[in-house]
């Protein structure tokens, strides 16, 4: 296919305009070197005479192994390296898309043996692409185009010729949980190498496995981060648009602490705007502290309840830290270059906001919260 596509989404959409993004996230630019294929672990088991079944078994072994152990981006590269042994092709494209006005909006993209301007040039002719017409798309059913067919749109034909593409095969799968579409397109350049009925059948057999493997790959990235950090942190993976690709089971309920009416699959509007403008800074809501970390062109969203210390102003926090460490009013005033009366004002305000009544309670609260914060931050940093 020339591109991926998606079903109509019934959930609330984001206020961010997807057309403001010129390109999807380029996962092919962040891929790490591919590890050895899993097939080598089962060489003897696979050494039987049925070549067709053996190739399919080898591909599925490699696919699920890559899903579990490769980073985002490297997984897609492993997919194409393995797929070439099963179905010959010259170039390929995969990614995730959503629908807008009966046309696909690509959220992340991995191109294989295609030039950097491939997507930009496709975006110019998307309305002429017969494979981008959502009314023609059936999930799990492969669509094949020969661009020299007399029925092919002339603008689309010129675009395909500019990249040396003659035969195109596309298949899509729906992720019911998030309403997103995983798409896979493979291309051949030679006029005498059309995709056969067997190629179509193989791709239709594989597409649910490809969708499942991608889900495993994203879920494993969350799992590996979660093992090394505090249990009360909830995580999800999203793209630049703020669309969720994967999440912890408790993520949605945690989001609703801050936004009770939220229903996905887009992040809440305020968080989408923050993601677009200041992703390097934590988002501080009334109930949640939300950190955003870039991971291979996507983002990991980490939610945790706000600390009571977040309620304090900078001066109030500095004052109680000195005071909890044993400093007197006069010592705190000298260190902060403030009048003792001002120090007392900051302390009274901090006591009221934190719901404590004396220095001992204050010290215990600060020690508890500081320890939890250090543990969380160290684990979060180490998981990167």
Predicted confidence (pLDDT) per residue in 48-98, tens digit: 655 557 788 889 988 998 888 888 888 999 999 999 989 999 999 998 888
181 and 86 in a common domain? yes
Note the pLDDT tens digit of each residue in 152-171: 999 999 999 999 999 999 99
Write down how long the chain is.
384
Q: How far apart are CA 235 and CA 374, in angstroms?
A: 18
* β-strands 103-112, 25-26 pairing: parallel
Residue of 12 and 293 predicted with greater confidence: 293
Closest CA to 103 of 141, 124, 129: 129
88 and 52 in a common domain? yes
Domain closes at, from 202, 222, 242: 222
For 350, the token pair is 């901090």
Note the pLDDT tens digit of each residue in 270-290: 999 999 898 888 898 888 889
CB-based contact 57:67 (threshold 8 Å)? no
CB-based contact 312:350 (threshold 8 Å)? yes
User: Dihedral (C-alpha) 330, 335, 340, 344: value to the nearest 10 degrees?
Assistant: -100
What contacts 136, CB < 8 A, 6 or more positions away? Answer: 130, 143
Closest CA to 288 of 218, 236, 243: 236
Cα Rg, the chain, nearest whole Å? 26
Predicted pLDDT of residue 323:
78
Residue 76, domain member (yes or no): yes
The CATH number of the domain holding residue 313 is 1.10.10.10
When pLDDT is averaged across residues 203-207 and rounded to a whole number, the result is 95
Q: How far apart are CA 349 and CA 342, in angstroms?
A: 11
Residue of 255 and 297 predicted with greater confidence: 255
Q: How far apart are CA 240 and CA 244, in angstroms?
A: 10
237 and 202 in a common domain? no
When pLDDT is averaged across residues 190-194 and rounded to a whole number, the result is 97
Q: How far apart are CA 276 and CA 266, in angstroms?
A: 13
Q: Is the pLDDT of residue 241 over 90?
A: no
For 211, the token pair is 């969708």
196 and 84 in a common domain? yes
140 and 47 in a common domain? yes
When pLDDT is averaged across residues 37-53 and rounded to a whole number, the result is 59
Highest mean pLDDT among 18-32, 120-134, 327-341: 120-134
Predicted pLDDT of residue 16:
46
Predicted pLDDT of residue 261:
92
Burial letters 55-66, b for 16+ CB under 10 A, else e = bbbbbbbbbbbb
CB-based contact 75:67 (threshold 8 Å)? yes
What contacts 255, CB < 8 A, 6 or more positions away? Answer: 262, 267, 268, 288, 303
42 and 172 in a common domain? yes
Lowest-pLDDT choice from 316-320, 326-330, 364-368: 364-368
CB-based contact 366:320 (threshold 8 Å)? yes
136 and 245 in a common domain? no
3-state secondary structure of 253: helix
What contacts 231, CB < 8 A, 6 or more positions away? Answer: none
Predicted pLDDT of residue 9:
38
Note the pLDDT tens digit of each residue in 169-189: 999 998 877 778 889 999 999
261 and 133 in a common domain? no
Predicted pLDDT of residue 369:
56
246 and 159 in a common domain? no
Tell me the whole-structure pTM to 2 decimals: 0.60
Residue 108, domain member (yes or no): yes
Number of separate domains in the chain: 3
The CATH number of the domain holding residue 297 is 3.30.450.20
Q: What is the mean pLDDT of the chain?
A: 80
User: Dihedral (C-alpha) 103, 16, 31, 170: value to the nearest 10 degrees?
Assistant: -10
Residue 380, domain member (yes or no): no
Closest CA to 274 of 265, 264, 260, 284: 284
282 and 295 in a common domain? yes
269 and 320 in a common domain? no
Predicted pLDDT of residue 15:
47
Q: Is the pLDDT of residue 198 over 90?
A: yes
Predicted pLDDT of residue 203:
96
Q: Within the chain, where are the H helices? A: 51-69, 74-86, 118-125, 154-162, 197-227, 251-258, 269-277, 314-324, 329-336, 340-354, 359-382
Could you tell me the residue range of the domain that residue 176 belongs to? 18-222
Q: Is the pLDDT of residue 377 over 80?
A: no
């Amino acid at each position: 296919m020339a591109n991926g596509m998606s079903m109509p989404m019934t959930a609330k959409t984001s206020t961010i305009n997807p057309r403001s993004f010129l390109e999807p996230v380029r996962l092919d630019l962040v891929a790490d070197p591919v590890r050895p294929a899993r097939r080598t672990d089962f060489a003897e088991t696979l050494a039987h005479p049925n070549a067709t079944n053996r190739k399919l078994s080898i591909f599925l072994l490699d696919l699920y192994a890559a899903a579990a152990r490769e980073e985002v981006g490297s997984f897609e590269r492993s997919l194409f390296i393995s797929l070439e042994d099963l179905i010959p092709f010259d170039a390929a494209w995969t990614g995730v898309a959503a629908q807008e006005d009966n046309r696909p909006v690509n959220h992340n993209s991995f191109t294989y043996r295609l030039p950097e301007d491939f997507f930009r040039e496709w975006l110019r002719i998307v309305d002429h692409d017969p494979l981008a017409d959502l009314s023609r798309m059936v999930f799990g059913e492969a669509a094949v185009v020969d661009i020299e067919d007399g029925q092919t749109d002339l603008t689309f034909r010129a675009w395909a010729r500019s990249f040396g593409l003659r035969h195109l095969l596309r298949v899509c799968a729906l992720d019911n949980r998030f309403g997103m579409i995983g798409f896979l397109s493979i291309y051949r350049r030679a006029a005498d190498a059309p995709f056969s009925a067997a190629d179509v059948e193989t791709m239709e057999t594989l597409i649910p496995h490809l969708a499942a493997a991608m889900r495993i790959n994203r879920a494993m990235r969350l799992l590996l981060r979660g093992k090394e950090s505090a249990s009360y942190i909830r995580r999800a993976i999203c793209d630049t648009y703020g669309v969720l690709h994967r999440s912890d089971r408790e993520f949605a309920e945690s989001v609703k602490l801050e936004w009770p009416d939220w229903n996905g699959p887009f992040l809440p509007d305020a968080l989408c705007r923050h993601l677009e403008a200041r992703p390097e800074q934590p988002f501080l809501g009334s109930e949640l502290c939300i950190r955003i970390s870039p991971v291979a062109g996507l983002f990991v969203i980490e939610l945790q309840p706000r600390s009571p210390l977040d309620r304090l102003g900078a001066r109030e926090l500095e004052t109680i830290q000195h005071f909890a460490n044993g400093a007197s009013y006069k010592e705190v005033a000298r260190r902060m270059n403030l009048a003792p009366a001002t120090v007392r004002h900051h302390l009274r305000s901090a006591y009221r906001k934190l719901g404590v009544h004396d220095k001992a309670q204050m010290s215990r609260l600060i020690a508890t919260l500081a320890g939890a914060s250090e543990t969380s931050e160290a684990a979060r940093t180490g998981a990167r």
